[in-house]
Every structure is written in C-alpha cells, then in structure tokens.
C-alpha cells in the first residue's frame, strides 16, 4: 500500500497509507529507526452505540495545505453521519507529531462521540521488551524501551489528557490488541503492559445537532522520560493550534524562499514543483542522509527497504535542491559523503542515516577474485553535484576542507580505476544495481566527475591536476565512442563486458543512455546522441492508455506486463522525465519547447492526489508500484521543470539587447529588432 502525505522535520518522520493509517514512525533519523515497522496505528469513532475505524468505509481525500507540510484530510461516514476535517504535521522544530481533528455532526440531534487512537509500536524495530503504561502526571500513555520514549496524548477545548486508556499484549497467545477493546466504546483501563505491547487512548466529545467540535492528538518522541514530558508540557503551554500554525508558516517560507521565474507555466506545474520540494525534504535526515524512500511495505518484496542513502540518488536529489537554491540541505549531504568516503577514494553501495554501512547484495569476491562492490557512477556524481553547488553558491569556506579529502581523493580513484589498455573505467555495478560491467551511464558520470574535479583543481590554483583530469576525461570520452558506439545499429550500447580484444556489447535499449546527455558527454543535437535517444523514446514507450517510458526492454522488476506487445516494462517517472529533459534541450523554438510540457503534465496526472510520486506505475491502471514517495522521482521533476524554465529564458532573450522578450510582451513594449 503506497505511503501518502508524509510529514516530518528531518529528525522525525510520520507516513500514512492510502487509508489514512499511520504506518511508519521514524526517529531519531529519517530512515532509521522505524518504530512501527509498517504496522498500522489507527483512529476510530464510537457514536450512538456504533463503531468504525477510519478505513475503507470512509470517503477520504488526502492532500496537503498549499505550500506546506501540513496535511488537509477530509473523511466522511454516511452511516454514522459524521464528517472529519483533519490536519497533521510534525513540528518544524520539536519532535512532536500533532493532529487537529474537527468533528462535524451531520445528524439533527445532539450526540456524544468518542474518538480512539490505537498504537502498535515496535520500538527499535522489534516487539521484544517494550513497555506501555498510563502516566497519571501527564494523563497520557507512554511507550518506551531503552533510550526511546513515545508519549501519546490528546485534548479538547476544555481539558487535556485522555478520558479512556488501555495497554495490553499483542502478537502472542492469540491477543489481537487493545484496538478490539475500543470497539464497544469503552477501554479496560489496564495501566501497564510489558513485552509485545500496544495501547489505545480515547477522548469524549459532545457535539450539538449539525454542530462541530475540536480535538487534538499528539505523539512526542524523545530519548528519555523527562524529554517527552517536557515536550508534552510545551504542547499544553504553546497549544497544539500554535504548533500547527507556526509549522505551516515555516514551510511556506521554506518553499517560497527563492524568487523563481515561472513565466506563464500552468499553476498545476508550479504547485507540483513546490510540492515536490517539500516531499523531498521529508525524506532527508538533518544529518545529511538523503534517503531514497521510506515506504516499509517494500519489505514484503525482498525483506529490506529503500531507507538508505545511495550516493547516486543523493547526488541527483542534491543537484535538484542546488538548482532550486537550497544550499544548507545539500551541504550536509556532501559532508556526509566526506565522512564516509574510503581512504582509497570510493563510496560503497549505500549507507544508513547514521553513516554506518548499509545492507548490500554486491559481493566483494567475484569471478574468483576480489572485486570492489561499488557503483562508480555514484562516486562520480557526488563530485559533479558538488561542483554545481560551488558554482551556484561560491561558498569557498565550505568546499575548502572537502577539496583534498573528498574531491581529490575521489578524482584520483577515478583516474586509477581504469582499464590500462582501453582507458575506460573498470567494471562496477550499474545505476539499476543489477548488472556488473562497464556502463555508458557510469562512463558518462565519470567523465563529468573528472571534469568537475578539474574545475575544482583549477579554482584552487592547481592547474596541473586540472589539466590532468580534463585530459583523462577527454580520453575516456574518446574511448567510449570508439568502443561503445555501434555503427551498425547507429546507437550506443548500454553496457560492455571486457573480452580479450575489447568489449562484448549489450545493445539492450535502456533509458539510462540519457546519461550521455545529462552529463554533457555529448551535445543533445550531436548525431550519435540523437540516434541513441530516438531509439530510447521509440523502444521504451509504454503503448497503453497510461503511457510513459520504461527503464529498459523486458524490465522484470515489479513487472505487471501480461505478455502484451508494446509494453517493455512499467513506466517509471524518472525515465519519462529524462525523455522530457531531452526534448527540452532539443527544442529550437517556443513551439517545440511547449510540446515538452506534456511530459511534465503526464507526471502530475499520474501522481497521487496529495502530489506523492511513486517509483513506477502500473501500465494498465496507473496505480503506484514499488515505493512511494521515491525521492529521486520528485527530484527529477524539479530538475526537468528548472531546465524548462532555463530554456525558455534563453529562447525569450533578445539577442540584440539581452532583455527578455517575455517582459517586453507583458509590458506591451515594442520588442527589439533581432
């Protein structure tokens, strides 16, 4: 079930599923630890002797308030004659998840309504040794284990503290959990439980006929009892309304901090651009880890998650943030990379948000010899993105301590990690983490990484290193063309495997061939680039009513295809957006550029109503597949839209006077003669 409307502050992240159940609670890192491991925490209502959990019986709309990380959720139950309006957020500064609930009585009589909140914590990611107890001082339930505490509480306009509570056992001896206890409108009042435990709290509300009432619910997270008690006190003092209001204002300031020129772009695209920036921020830990995705449902596929920092994903997300003007977030990412880079100058497969090495399926021993389990494109892209960061913000004091340790270290690794005969990079794993060999995308990234290192070296006055890196990058480019361009097919191979004379080429059409253009190995109008990209667009177009671009021919991952022709794989957002970027770069006039808008509009049309993008979608139903939100998907939309605006600026700039003809037209001025 896709994750929707995530809310967080970089230390605490809360995700919901499509039924509006809390499914993941991450603290103190985004991506680790997940204290529910995907088990749902539910909200329910008792009224007039009837009970309903807020699930499929309710008509729901899950969105956000404009330009914020405050949700805007509506739910209606015709049987109970109840309507809910709810706002959720994690305070931008304090580790408190807070929910505001407006309950509307649609009946023509006064009613007593009881709200219940169920918690299925698995603290530290397991159910062993947890404790849940009622704390009379705060009138709340506290769950704890070791150095993790979660205080859950609620209030209405007249009082703070729960009216009902129960703690109990779950997942053993046939116990289903205290959520069953709530369904008669009463809770047992059991004050403590230990082991595999859960809890439910409730609050009573009286609502006039056709009237409404207000209540708030929150989860405070901390490392010790005194910390969550202090957070609970701060809610009482500041009021939940104030926390929501100030957090709403913070995110409006954050997402509108840059005065970007959107020209006459449709409002739907501008709004989605901002939504993507906000959703990206929920997936980024305050200590620098840019997490790929935090959807724990993917554990059903391979008993692992996407809650890791891949250098490749991180670099591409950082690049989108850099181009959007967010230097602080990207700086922490680059510092993270500097902290974990090996003495030899390479980054490994992926990392946990606390900088420890994450799980991997890339072996250290392959073909009966030692093999580095790396994706070299990720290493190169970090240096490439860092140069873009410096080029935009010119923060030399930040870059100075990274110059030797990260930039030069990685550059020297890329120089040495090459085939002595061909000059191409040695084999590593591809960006899809599936194949071992030499990949066109990786080679293009290495060329860009070495050019970026050369830029840094020259900027720091070490021209000999700059010249060296430029020359090697040029030689790698020449070797790529000589070895990987297939003249018979008129396009590049996606991959080569070394043989005695050169490379056995894998000519599978792959969207990652866009790396030739993305990293400026070739100009978008160069014949070899055009023929390659046109083959990608033709071969990987998904020929259903859903449309979009697949990763590569016969992509097996999460495949839905029933064997029909014209469906090379599921459509991926990033691949579709890559082709959109290519069309933007190739556009020679405004009419051609406007045609590229269809790719951006396709993405918006396939997103969840909240604006969340998955990794891929079903080619027949456009339902989200794999994980959501995928940070990389949102970052690629941001990058594509920025490329569109940059290209429009160039096309509208008068070659004679250098002024924008857009403004001249808008101000009804006579345009210059070009």
Report pLDDT digits (tens) over 508-540: 999 999 999 999 999 999 999 999 999 999 999
Distance in Å from the first CA to the final CA of the chain:
56
Total number of domains constituting the chain: 2
As a whole number of angstroms, the distance between CA 146 and CA 311 comes to 32
User: What domain range includes position 502?
Assistant: 308-509
Contact criterion met (CB below 8 Å) for 334 and 400: no
As a whole number of angstroms, the distance between CA 291 and CA 281 comes to 10
Establish if 274 belongs to a structural domain: no
Average pLDDT rounded to a whole number, residues 658-671:
48
pLDDT bin (cut points 50, 70, 90) of residue 662 is low
Q: Are residues 250 and 380 in the same domain?
A: no
Q: Kindly list the strands in the beta sheet with 428-429, ordered across the sheet, starting from the edge strand earlier in the chain.
A: 428-429, 436-439, 495-498, 503-506
Q: Are residues 493 and 358 in the same domain?
A: yes
Q: Are residues 240 and 352 in the same domain?
A: no
Establish if 270 belongs to a structural domain: no
Q: Are residues 247 and 369 in the same domain?
A: no
As a whole number of angstroms, the distance between CA 459 and CA 386 comes to 13
Establish if 293 belongs to a structural domain: no
Establish if 285 belongs to a structural domain: no
Which residues have CB under 8 Å from 625's CB, separation 6+? Answer: 558, 560, 570, 614, 615, 616, 617, 618
Q: Are residues 320 and 249 in the same domain?
A: no
Contact criterion met (CB below 8 Å) for 415 and 466: no
Establish if 562 belongs to a structural domain: no
**The tokens 């769950």 sit on which residue?**
143
Average pLDDT rounded to a whole number, residues 19-45:
97
- Strand segments (E) across 449-526: 485-486, 491-492, 495-498, 503-506
Q: Are residues 223 and 324 in the same domain?
A: no
- Among 290-304, 419-433, 571-585, the least confident range: 290-304
Q: Are residues 250 and 328 in the same domain?
A: no
Q: Are residues 219 and 356 in the same domain?
A: no
What is the model's pLDDT at position 301?
73
Establish if 320 belongs to a structural domain: yes
What is the model's pLDDT at position 562?
67
What is the model's pLDDT at position 671?
37
Q: Are residues 320 and 244 in the same domain?
A: no
What is the model's pLDDT at position 199?
98
614: helix, strand or coil: coil
Contact criterion met (CB below 8 Å) for 402 and 338: yes
pLDDT bin (cut points 50, 70, 90) of residue 64 is very high
Average pLDDT rounded to a whole number, residues 577-605:
97
Residue 506's nearest CA partner among 581, 575, 436 is 436
Residue 659 scores a pLDDT above 70: no
Last residue of a domain, one of 482, 509, 536: 509
CA quadruple 466, 469, 470, 471: dihedral sign: positive
**The tokens 């992240």 sit on which residue?**
13
> What CATH number is given to the structural domain containing 105?
2.70.98.10
What is the model's pLDDT at position 661?
60
> What CATH number is given to the structural domain containing 372?
1.50.10.10
Establish if 665 belongs to a structural domain: no
What is the model's pLDDT at position 666?
43
Residue 633's nearest CA partner among 575, 570, 550 is 575
pTM of the model: 0.96
Residue 674 scores a pLDDT above 60: no
DSSP state of 541: B
Q: Where is 501: in which H helix or E strand?
A: none
As a whole number of angstroms, the distance between CA 175 and CA 167 comes to 12
As a whole number of angstroms, the distance between CA 634 and CA 217 comes to 30
Average pLDDT rounded to a whole number, residues 597-614:
98
348: helix, strand or coil: coil
Which residues have CB under 8 Å from 50's CB, separation 6+? Answer: 79, 80
CB atoms within 10 A of CB 11: 18
Which residues have CB under 8 Å from 501's CB, separation 6+? Answer: none
b/e for 188-202, b at 16 or more Cβ within 10 A? Answer: eebeebeebbbbbbb
Contact criterion met (CB below 8 Å) for 153 and 217: yes
Average pLDDT rounded to a whole number, residues 209-233:
98
Residue 285's nearest CA partner among 630, 10, 631 is 10
Report pLDDT digits (tens) over 279-324: 999 999 999 999 999 998 888 777 899 999 999 999 999 999 999 9
Q: Which percentage of the chain shows pLDDT scores above 70?
A: 97
Q: Are residues 198 and 318 in the same domain?
A: no
Report pLDDT digits (tens) over 183-192: 999 999 999 9
Last residue of a domain, one of 254, 280, 296: 254
**How many residues in the chain?**
674
User: What are φ and ψ of residue 177, in 5° steps?
Assistant: 130, 165
What is the model's pLDDT at position 218?
98
Establish if 571 belongs to a structural domain: no
Q: Are residues 248 and 327 in the same domain?
A: no
User: What are φ and ψ of residue 397, in 5° steps?
Assistant: -70, -30
Last residue of a domain, one of 254, 285, 318: 254
CA quadruple 499, 505, 510, 512: dihedral sign: positive
**The tokens 């990794």 sit on which residue?**
615
Q: Are residues 346 and 234 in the same domain?
A: no
Residue 280's nearest CA partner among 664, 567, 554, 13 is 13
46: helix, strand or coil: strand
Q: Where is 107: in which H helix or E strand?
A: none
Average pLDDT rounded to a whole number, residues 400-411:
98
As a whole number of angstroms, the distance between CA 490 and CA 401 comes to 45
């Amino acid at each position: 079930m896709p994750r929707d409307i995530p809310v967080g502050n970089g230390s605490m992240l809360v995700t919901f599923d499509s039924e509006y159940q809390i499914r993941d609670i991450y603290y103190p890192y985004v991506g680790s630890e997940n204290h529910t491991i995907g088990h749902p925490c539910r909200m329910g209502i008792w009224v007039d002797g009837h009970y309903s959990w807020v699930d499929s019986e309710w008509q729901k709309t899950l969105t956000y308030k404009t330009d914020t990380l405050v949700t805007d959720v509506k739910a209606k139950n015709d049987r109970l004659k109840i309507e809910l309006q709810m706002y959720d957020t994690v305070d931008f500064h304090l580790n408190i998840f807070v929910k505001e609930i407006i309950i509307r009585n649609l009946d023509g009589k006064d009613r007593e309504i009881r709200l219940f909140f169920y918690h299925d914590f698995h603290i530290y990611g397991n159910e062993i040794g947890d404790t849940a107890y009622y704390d009379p001082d705060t009138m709340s339930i506290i769950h704890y284990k070791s150095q993790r505490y979660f205080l859950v509480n609620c209030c209405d306009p007249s009082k703070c503290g729960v009216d009902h509570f129960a703690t109990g056992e779950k997942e053993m001896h046939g116990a289903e959990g205290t959520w069953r206890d709530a369904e008669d409108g009463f809770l047992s009042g059991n004050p403590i439980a230990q082991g595999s435990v859960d809890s439910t709290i409730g609050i009573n509300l009286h609502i006039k006929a056709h009237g409404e009432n207000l209540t708030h619910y929150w989860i405070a997270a901390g490392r010790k009892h005194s910390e969550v008690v202090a957070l609970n006190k701060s809610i009482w003092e500041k009021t939940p309304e104030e926390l929501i209001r100030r957090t709403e204002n913070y995110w409006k300031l954050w997402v509108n901090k840059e005065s970007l020129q959107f020209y006459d772009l449709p409002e739907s695209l501008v709004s989605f651009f901002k939504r993507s920036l906000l959703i990206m921020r929920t997936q980024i830990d305050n200590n620098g880890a840019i997490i790929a995705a935090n959807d724990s449902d993917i554990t059903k596929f391979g008993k692992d998650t996407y809650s890791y920092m891949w250098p490749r994903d991180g670099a591409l997300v950082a690049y989108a943030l850099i181009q959007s003007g967010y230097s602080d977030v990207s700086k922490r990412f680059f510092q993270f990379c500097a902290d974990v880079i090996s003495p030899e100058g390479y980054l490994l497969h992926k990392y946990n948000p606390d900088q420890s090495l994450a799980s991997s399926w890339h072996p250290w021993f392959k073909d009966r010899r030692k093999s580095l389990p790396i994706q070299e494109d990720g290493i190169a892209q970090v240096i490439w993105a860092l140069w873009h960061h410096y080029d935009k913000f010119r923060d030399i004091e930040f870059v100075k301590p990274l110059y030797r340790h990260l930039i030069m270290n990685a550059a020297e690794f890329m120089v040495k990690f090459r085939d002595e005969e061909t000059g191409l990079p040695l084999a590593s794993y591809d960006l899809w983490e599936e194949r071992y060999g030499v990949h066109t995308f990786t080679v293009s990234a290495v060329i860009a990484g070495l050019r970026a290192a050369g830029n840094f070296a020259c900027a720091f006055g070490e021209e000999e290193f700059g010249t060296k890196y430029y020359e090697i990058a040029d030689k790698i480019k020449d070797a790529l063309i000589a070895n990987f361009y297939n003249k018979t097919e008129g396009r590049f191979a996606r991959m080569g495997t070394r043989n005695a004379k050169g490379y056995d080429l894998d000519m599978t059409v792959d969207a990652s061939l866009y790396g030739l253009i993305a990293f400026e190995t070739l100009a978008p109008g160069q014949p070899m680039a055009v023929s390659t990209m046109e083959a990608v667009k033709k071969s990987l177009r998904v020929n259903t009513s859903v449309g979009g671009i697949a990763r590569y021919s016969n992509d097996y991952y999460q495949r839905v295809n029933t064997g029909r022709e014209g469906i090379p794989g599921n459509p991926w957002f990033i691949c579709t957006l890559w082709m959109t970027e290519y069309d933007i770069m190739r556009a020679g006039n405004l009419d051609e550029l406007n045609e590229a808008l269809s790719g951006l509009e396709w993405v918006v049309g396939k997103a969840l109503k909240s604006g969340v993008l998955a990794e891929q979608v079903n080619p027949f139903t456009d339902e989200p597949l794999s994980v959501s939100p995928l940070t990389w998907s949102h970052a690629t939309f941001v990058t594509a839209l920025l490329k569109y605006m940059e290209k429009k600026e160039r096309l509208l700039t008068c070659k004679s006077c250098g002024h924008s003809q857009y403004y001249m037209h808008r101000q009804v001025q006579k345009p210059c003669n070009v």
